A and B are shown apart, each in its own frame.
Chain A
Amino acid sequence: MGFYILSYLCFLIFILATGYLVYRQLTLPVHVRWELYPVQHETADRAAYGGSYLEELNWWEKKQTRSLFNELRYMLPEILFLRGLWKENRLLWWASFPFHFGLYLMIALFGLLLLHALVILWSDYPVTSSGAMRSFLNGLIVLTGWTGLILGNIGSLGLLYKRWADPELRNYSSFSDYFNILFIFLFFISALIALSGDPQLEGAKAYAFGLLTGGVSLNAYTPGQNLYGGVAIVSASLLAAYIPLTHMSHMFMKYFLYHNVKWDDAPNRRGGSIEAAIMENLELKPTWRAKHVEADGRKSWREIASSAPKEVK
């Protein structure tokens, strides 16, 4: 039961920490534009060479065309296959891709295991009781598990080696950088060893079933009987709690880095919501101390911006 409590707690921390990170981003003030081209939601012809709507004569009189399709066409290979790294840092890609794809497959595996547990719980329905469907799901679980763990182990070892052997990376790496990779490697290697004794992932299925049913395990399987399985469960649970507390939250925070900065090209139109947000910002009262700023904590940004400095420094 202790395993389940740990998993629930870690999952709760994951939700709370991720929720906090996202909430904090959503409540930050509107910032000035700082986009970088190519912006992938542009029209396909412009996105291809990095053009923008600012290339149009009297652009403000025209409706801005944004393409979600273009954005997805770019983002999917970027997220799944790390296209940017392939283009800009090929040597690192050979380690980084299996590492990241291994992690994606572990997330997918977790989803499939929960689905499998639901199928068992709802086995009275014709769809879920279908033998073909269950066989397909079981096959998918095995394929995803094995592929993900093999890739993850290769990737973790590759990243560890790169960080240790490449002076460019080693010189900038701290204890936590090695610890993070080792932590993830611990999960991958323990899960792979556990898998070698349980190639159909029956233990993992049982644990997922137990997670959904408050610790009632399937087929009398008790997690922790197998040392490696136990280590895999503990490390996976702790990782889920740990990742949002570190820079590794870039896995999902990348959304904000791209959409709220790099691709944030939304123009400020009179009477629009951006203008309203700017007007609020302009009422904020800065306290910068250089004399030329002439901030005293009482003057607003609006007052300061519409004045000329009396002092030079």
Chain B
Amino acid sequence: MSPSLNPADIATPSDCLCHIEPGELSPLPAPYEDFNQVTIPPLNPEKVKHLETSLDDTIAIGIPKPASREEEEALILRFLSGLKKLFEKENNWTFLQPLMLSMEHCAKCQTCSNACPVYEMSGRKDIHRPMFRAEVLRRIYNKYLKPGGKIIAKLTGDIDLNWKTIARLAELSYRCTLCRRCAAVCPIGVDNSLINHEIRKLFSQEMGIAPKEIHDKGTVQHLRVGSSTGMNPLAAKDSIEFIEEEMEEITGYKVEIPWDVEGADILLLHNAGEMLAWPENVGAFAIIFQAAGLSWTLSSEAAGYDAVNYGLWYDDVQFSRVAVKHADIARRLKVKKIVMGECGHAHKALTVTADRLLTGELNVPRESAMVTLEEIVLRGKLRFDPRRNDFPVTLHDPCNVVRAMGIVEPQRRILRKIAPRFREMTPHGVENYCCGGGSGFAIMSGYNFAQWRNLVSSRKKFLQILNAFDGEPREIPKYVCAPCSNCKGAIRDTINTYHAEERSGLYYGGLVELIVNAMADMKKPIIRFGDEPSWKS
């Protein structure tokens, strides 16, 4: 067991502030006991010798070590300059009020800790308490930026500011999935995950420090090439052509996916990762929309075929640029509304967070696909044979769709109609647990970060999934419905890590696949469990 840590310890000189020993992670039940002694594999010393690794057993960012004392001092000053900007309206009007309120009113009651899946699953390591990193920032702010701070800090909580403090804080801001369960349970309404978001922002917007997967290969590539996947418009069109062919081959249903239809009712925005990793999701949307007779289109303009907005997780400027781009494409296509496909963070980014950014004609109405699909499924626009989904189904609630937007029931009403063996996880809805891939984790896999994610941040969701199917025979295939690309990515990796397809018969997919699978007009099933079709034609 590591000794307990308090926020001031973040400044202490040591090679590893928090190490997880074998057996310390929350235990898994049978038949997964063999994973209970597994811990995060060590970093390759050669690969990380020039990087800051002193927080814990993994690296999310990979911050280079400063070359000299002078460089360290300059970085500390830059950090303080960024911290000051977080409290200025010119620089941070976007979150100034929520930040100030959460900075000033925490009672340190630790109610948030028990709600945090990362803290719980890590074996209750102090650095993973939601208030740990928030308290570090509070103490630095109070001591170094408030008048008389150095004296008052002796009474209210002291901390040393050195390069270790800063480098560890930057890394630590990428150990929280921003699921906001901590904020949901805070009796006062303090949002420590928001403070974490602001820490990420300070590092990105002032110091240019962010994980390459979400910045260089994420928002920068998205704005430059057209998609964070690296797909340019031509490649996106090729992918869609391939999907059209695949859909006909898999389901026997001929689908045509419309591009750039001016004046269409709907601009459908997919996470472009779906086109590459889960093409059947894009195809299933097309089948449903075509069969229901909707007027809709995709956009082939750069960024218009990729709904993601990684800026939501770390950088308001990049966030704003992507959101404006999406809205402007919809404006020029003259669509009546944008429908967000199965991507949770894209839902929240464009529908809710960007709502206070888009003005005039850029404020094109946005709607969740859960709502559009409910209208199609429940209003009798299509014929269904629910017996085709005669296998156990559970629903994962993407935090950004459910807790952050209050879209809870439409997807459930659909499942109750088309999946006779649907059952809930515990807890679910707005009290759900994160998949472990939130806030960019699902796409971050440098060094050994993917192993950390699978073993720590996705562990609670894995336990929830196992519990939801408790009592079902191992050989029966079970479907985890995750209507979010990032969640699907995290769940896919969890299933693979724990060999859960072999050991528990776990499979995963989106909501639209289940809908198409139950459509009476389909000649063949879209869902397969390994080599087996989910129903016989």
Contact yes or no, B368 A54, CB < 8 A:
yes
Contact yes or no, A268 B358, CB < 8 A:
yes
Given contact pairs A58-B367, A84-B187, A307-B321, A37 touches B430 in the complex (Cβ within 8 A) = yes
Contact yes or no, B406 A52, CB < 8 A:
yes
Chain B residues closer than 8 Å to A59, beta-carbon distance: 367, 371
In the complex, whether A286 has a CB less than 8 A from a CB of chain B is yes
In the complex, whether A183 has a CB less than 8 A from a CB of chain B is no
The segment from A65-73, A107-115, A221-229, A245-253 found at the interface with B is: A245-253
The segment from B37-45, B105-113, B162-170, B493-501 found at the interface with A is: B105-113
Residue picked from A78, A84, A285, most chain B C-beta under 10 Å? A84
CA gap between A175 and B105 in the complex, in Å? 17
Q: Is the interface of B mostly helix, strand, loop or mixed?
A: helix
Contact yes or no, B206 A55, CB < 8 A:
no
- Which B127-186 residues sit within 8 Å CB-CB of chain A? 131, 135, 154-157, 180, 183-186
Contact yes or no, A49 B109, CB < 8 A:
no
Chain B residues closer than 8 Å to A50, beta-carbon distance: 402-403, 406, 408, 429-430
A248-267 vs B, Cβ < 8 Å mask (1 yes, 0 no): 01100110111011100101
CA gap between A96 and B355 in the complex, in Å? 38
B94-110 vs A, Cβ < 8 Å mask (1 yes, 0 no): 11111011101111111
- Which B212-250 residues sit within 8 Å CB-CB of chain A? 215-216, 220, 223-224
Contact yes or no, A288 B101, CB < 8 A:
no
B320-332 vs A, Cβ < 8 Å mask (1 yes, 0 no): 1101100000000
Q: Which of B317, B356, B410 contacts A293 (CB 8 A)?
A: B317
Q: Which of B93, B110, B370 contacts A168 (CB 8 A)?
A: B110
A14-42 vs B, Cβ < 8 Å mask (1 yes, 0 no): 00000000000100111111111111001
In the complex, whether A313 has a CB less than 8 A from a CB of chain B is yes
CA gap between A62 and B56 in the complex, in Å? 50
In the complex, whether A88 has a CB less than 8 A from a CB of chain B is yes
B141 to chain A, nearest CB (A): 13
In the complex, whether B85 has a CB less than 8 A from a CB of chain A is yes
CA gap between A175 and B154 in the complex, in Å? 8
In the complex, whether A174 has a CB less than 8 A from a CB of chain B is yes
Contact yes or no, B404 A36, CB < 8 A:
yes
B126 to chain A, nearest CB (A): 7
Given contact pairs A174-B156, A253-B101, A33 touches B108 in the complex (Cβ within 8 A) = no
The segment from A140-148, A190-198, A211-219, A271-279 found at the interface with B is: A271-279
Chain B residues closer than 8 Å to A32, beta-carbon distance: 94-95, 353-357
Given contact pairs A54-B368, A275-B359, A288 touches B206 in the complex (Cβ within 8 A) = yes
CA gap between A167 and B4 in the complex, in Å? 9
Chain A residues closer than 8 Å to B358, beta-carbon distance: 268
- Which B175-213 residues sit within 8 Å CB-CB of chain A? 180, 183-191, 194, 204-208
Chain B residues closer than 8 Å to A84, beta-carbon distance: 111, 185-187
The total of chain A residues at the interface (CB under 8 A) is 89
Chain B residues closer than 8 Å to A177, beta-carbon distance: 108
Residue picked from A82, A171, A173, most chain B C-beta under 10 Å? A171
In the complex, whether A165 has a CB less than 8 A from a CB of chain B is no
In the complex, whether A80 has a CB less than 8 A from a CB of chain B is no
In the complex, whether B78 has a CB less than 8 A from a CB of chain A is yes
Contact yes or no, B430 A304, CB < 8 A:
no
Contact yes or no, B220 A292, CB < 8 A:
yes
Chain A residues closer than 8 Å to B295, beta-carbon distance: none
Chain B residues closer than 8 Å to A127, beta-carbon distance: none
Contact yes or no, B407 A89, CB < 8 A:
no
In the complex, whether A220 has a CB less than 8 A from a CB of chain B is no
Contact yes or no, B403 A169, CB < 8 A:
no
Given contact pairs A89-B111, A261-B98, A36 touches B180 in the complex (Cβ within 8 A) = yes
A175-209 vs B, Cβ < 8 Å mask (1 yes, 0 no): 11101000000000000000000000000000000
Chain B residues closer than 8 Å to A150, beta-carbon distance: none
Contact yes or no, B356 A268, CB < 8 A:
yes
In the complex, whether A57 has a CB less than 8 A from a CB of chain B is yes
Q: Which of B321, B356, B367 contacts A278 (CB 8 A)?
A: B356
In the complex, whether A290 has a CB less than 8 A from a CB of chain B is yes
A163 to chain B, nearest CB (A): 9
Contact yes or no, A305 B371, CB < 8 A:
no
Contact yes or no, B337 A58, CB < 8 A:
yes
CA gap between A279 and B362 in the complex, in Å? 12
In the complex, whether A270 has a CB less than 8 A from a CB of chain B is yes
Residue picked from B220, B224, B317, B355, most chain A C-beta under 10 Å? B317
In the complex, whether B528 has a CB less than 8 A from a CB of chain A is no
Chain A residues closer than 8 Å to B93, beta-carbon distance: 29-31, 281, 284, 301
Q: Which of B208, B354, B360, B367 contacts A290 (CB 8 A)?
A: B208
CA gap between A78 and B7 in the complex, in Å? 30
Contact yes or no, A25 B155, CB < 8 A:
no
CA gap between A78 and B185 in the complex, in Å? 12
Q: Which of B324, B355, B356 contacts A305 (CB 8 A)?
A: B324
A179 to chain B, nearest CB (A): 7
In the complex, whether A308 has a CB less than 8 A from a CB of chain B is yes
Q: Which of A34, A172, A260, A307 contacts B108 (CB 8 A)?
A: A172
Closest to A291 in B: B208
In the complex, whether A306 has a CB less than 8 A from a CB of chain B is yes
CA gap between A119 and B161 in the complex, in Å? 59
Contact yes or no, B404 A57, CB < 8 A:
no
Chain A residues closer than 8 Å to B404, beta-carbon distance: 35-37
30 A-B Cβ contacts within 8 A?
A25-B97, A28-B97, A29-B97, A31-B356, A32-B95, A34-B191, A34-B194, A35-B406, A37-B408, A51-B408, A54-B351, A55-B406, A58-B337, A58-B367, A84-B187, A88-B187, A89-B111, A172-B110, A174-B155, A247-B105, A250-B105, A257-B190, A262-B183, A278-B356, A278-B357, A281-B89, A290-B208, A292-B215, A301-B93, A305-B324
A58-B337, A169-B109 are known; give 17 further A-B pairs, CB within 8 A: A28-B96, A33-B352, A34-B98, A36-B403, A50-B408, A52-B405, A89-B111, A250-B188, A262-B191, A268-B356, A278-B359, A285-B90, A288-B317, A290-B206, A293-B317, A295-B317, A308-B321
Residues of A within 8 A of B (CB): 25, 28-39, 42, 46, 49-60, 78, 82, 84-85, 87-89, 92, 96, 167-169, 171-177, 179, 247, 249-250, 253-254, 256-258, 260-262, 265, 267-270, 274-275, 278-279, 281-282, 284-293, 295, 301, 304-309, 312-313
Residues of B within 8 A of A (CB): 4-7, 78, 81-82, 85, 89-91, 93-98, 100-102, 104-111, 113-115, 126, 131, 135, 154-157, 180, 183-191, 194, 204-208, 215-216, 220, 223-224, 317-318, 320-321, 323-324, 337, 351-360, 363, 365, 367-368, 370-372, 374-375, 402-410, 429-430
8 closest cross-chain pairs (CB), A and B: A52-B406, A257-B189, A50-B430, A313-B208, A305-B320, A37-B406, A290-B208, A174-B157
